[in-house]
Structure 1
Amino acid sequence: MPQNSPRLSLPFLQPSQAQKHVTHNEALRQLDVVTQLSLASTNASTPPAVPDQGVVHALGVAPTGDWTGQAGMLATWLDNAWYFAAPGTGWRAWDESTGQMKVWDGGAWIDPPVATQNMDGLGIATSYDSTNRLSVRSPATLLSHEGGGHQLKINKAGAGDTASLLFQSNWTGHAEMGLSGTTGFSIKVSPDGSNWTDALSFDPTTGIADGAAIQASPEDITPGRLMRADYGYGPGNLLGPVSENGGVPGGAVIERGSTPNGDYVRFADGTQICTVTLPATGCTNADGALFASGAAVWDFPMTFATGSTISVSGGGGASNRFIGFDAPTETQVGFKILATTSDATALAPTAIAIGRWF
């Protein structure tokens, strides 16, 4: 029969063997070393100066002193001498120096392999549950790049489901951002976790923004709301064609232009101002106590609104001249230049008409 057991190499008692207790005690000694194995250290290289009875060290690749030549062995101090035993592949031991379980893989003591696929859950410094299968309690969480960047993906099964980030205070939700019941990105806020307001959302096709944080109409001047480009005014639409719909401005604030009949300015509120420098003329025709130019007509550079009140005024070109106007229409006004003395000098009069374009 064999002399030793196949796995732990324990010495067997042999037939007619003398001093059987020696062999039996040797087997017990070896069992005492390897059973419920606990290591004072792993990868040890230098024997302690005063070792304790029964202490076990897992030796490294280049031990020295009394351990020389025993690389990878288990060194146990027994009865004032070192006892060496070879670990078997798959043996488990508790590393007292690190407070961790170790496994002998045939060449080194390693951390036990951990299954990371299809785990029921994972709690880091906290507990997970059936809903929060990944739970982390930490001052911060770092997700860093591997190569050129890093993406954090939150996927949902269908368009009507939710894929979002929920921000809580004392376990009550107050802000949520993501795809909440649609495929459009939105930001929601809540004062109590029950009543929610869509503060900002984006149409997934056009990218146009909407929500309670956005101006709802041109008349909406709610404090704190963001102004829409088509409802407000800035450098891009302060000057340009004015327009209106039902009395509500829809274009730029100021429109300025010229025609052969003069210059005009239109404002978004409906005000229109037309100006002109009229052809130079003299005043030699007798007109009662005054002298006048021939009668003429000023066709406005832009038409005024039908039925609006139009105010026309002007200057005759000199201190002794003035302009007399007929009642204006929406498109023109008749006039002639009057002077207190006969004067054939050709002077250019000016005129201004103020009214509304809608």
Structure 2
Amino acid sequence: MQNTANLGLPFIEPNQAQKHVTHNEALRILDALVQIGVVGRSAGSPPASPAEGERHIVAAAASGLWAGHPLELAVYVEGVWVFHPPQDGWLAWVEDEARLVVWTGASWTPVVPAVTGAPLFGINAAADTTNRLTVKSDAVLISHDDVTPGTGDARVVVNKGAPGNTASMLFQSNWSGRAEFGCTGDDNWHVKVSADGGTWHEALVVAAASGNVGIGTAAPSTALDVAGPVRMGNFAVAALPDPVAAGAGAMLFVTDELGGAVPAFSDGAAWRRVTDRAVVSV
């Protein structure tokens, strides 16, 4: 055997003349193949002015001085291009991509696949086919793009397939649901809560067609539709807020009005009893 099995380094024979020639050839091969770093892997023909020792992975469409050597390692040595067919497991750092690639026997493949198009992605956790993006972290930050830069906006989009599907955010306690908001089962906006993850109470609905808000009703017919008692803030006469600041239409419950406890409203200047519009008095 005249060469080593893996890298093809030439052996120095016992009675060989000019042993330095063989030794130097082996050094050149080692210099080319140890700690491989290439300029790039997209070019099919050599650069116009390569530097001594410059290395490239030849593209599949090889031409010119690189013709006949697709996907091989091309090294510029003393004015000529020397080619090394890759072997399974060879690693090379591609400078213009800032990426490590490995020869699989058929192609140079990134050791770490590009995130774009990856079927699963887990950060500090294992992703699965249901939770294709899985993150375990004390916090997750989504900020506007001040690098590219972007517009200054920041938006999270949750897209569902049809009105009958669900697009929502679900909050859990030890993997049991406690609160959910979003378009759940229709295109209206829902807010739901649960004490046990099994029985859910719908706290609020905003109708998509009208913007009406419903509390206790799934079909609000007015701007605010409350299906049940409404409790206003309780105030003693001496503690009533400024009716001017509160604004006309504000309502509250007066606990010690002269004629007895009574709901009252602001007309923009004074608090008046709902029962007879008289100004609230002690």
TM-score scaled by length of structure 2: 0.52
What displacement does 1:102 show?
2.2
**CA shift at 1:96, angstroms?**
1.4
What is the CA-CA distance between 1:82 and the residue it aligns to? 0.5
- Structure 2 letter corresponding to 1:131: D
Equivalent in the alignment of 2:10:
11
The aligned runs of 1:219-258 (5 Å cut-off) are none
User: Which sections of structure 1, spanning at least 5 residues, go unmatched?
Assistant: 123-127, 167-175, 188-198, 226-268, 270-358
Contact preservation (8 Å) 1:73, 1:84? yes
Q: Deviations over 1:29-72 (max 9, x none)?
A: 11111222111111321211111111111111221111111111
Aligned-pair distance for 1:217? Answer: 3.5
Deviations along 1:268-327, whole A, 9 cap, x unmatched?
A: x9xxxxxxxxxxxxxxxxxxxxxxxxxxxxxxxxxxxxxxxxxxxxxxxxxxxxxxxxxx
Rg: which structure is higher?
1
Q: Equivalents in 1 of 2:163, 2:13: separation in Å?
A: 69
Runs of 4+ in structure 1 off by over 3 angstroms are 113-119, 134-161, 163-166, 176-182, 199-202, 206-209, 212-225
Match of 1:94 in 2: 93
**Cα distance change, pair 218–95 in 1 and its aligned pair in 2 (3 A):** closer
Letter of the aligned partner of 1:82 in structure 2?
W
In 2, Cα distance between equivalents of 1:37 and 1:10: 16
Residue correspondence of structure 1 range 55-66 to structure 2 within 5 A: 55-66=54-65
Give 5+ residue unaligned stretches, structure 2: 127-134, 145-153, 183-189, 205-212, 234-247, 252-274, 276-282
Task: Answer yes or no: is the 8 Å Cα contact 1:184–1:201 preserved in 2.
Answer: no
Residues 224 and 165 of structure 1, relative CA distance in 2, 3 Å threshold: farther
Deviations 1:125-183 (A, max 9, x none): xxx76434x654453445557899985564747797534469xxxxxxxxx95536452
Q: Answer whether contact 1:180 1:186 (CA < 8 A) is retained.
A: no
Q: Which residue of 2 aligns with 1:232?
A: none
Structure with the larger RCO, 1 or 2 (CA within 8 Å, 6+ apart): 1
SS in 1 for 2:57: strand
2:124 maps to which residue?
120
Q: Could you tell me the TM-score, scaled by structure 1's length?
A: 0.43
2:138 counterpart of 1:131: yes
Q: CA deviation at 1:23?
A: 1.8
Q: Which stretch shows the higher mean deviation, 151-160 or 40-49?
A: 151-160
Residues 159, 181 of structure 1: 8 Å contact kept: no
How many Å separate the matches in 2 of 1:147 and 1:91?
49
For 1:1-358, list aligned pairs within 5 A: 2-114=1-113, 116=120, 119-121=123-125, 130-132=137-139, 136-138=142-144, 139-142=154-157, 152=167, 154=170, 156=172, 161-164=177-180, 178-179=192-193, 181=195, 183-186=200-203, 214=226, 217=229
Question: Between the two proteins, what is the percent identity of the paired residues?
Answer: 28
Distance 1:27 1:152 in 2: 64
Q: In the comparison of the two structures, how many residue pairs are matched?
A: 194
- What amino acid sits opposite 1:120 in the alignment? N
- In structure 2, the CA distance between the partners of 1:5 and 1:131, relative to structure 1 (3 Å rule), is same
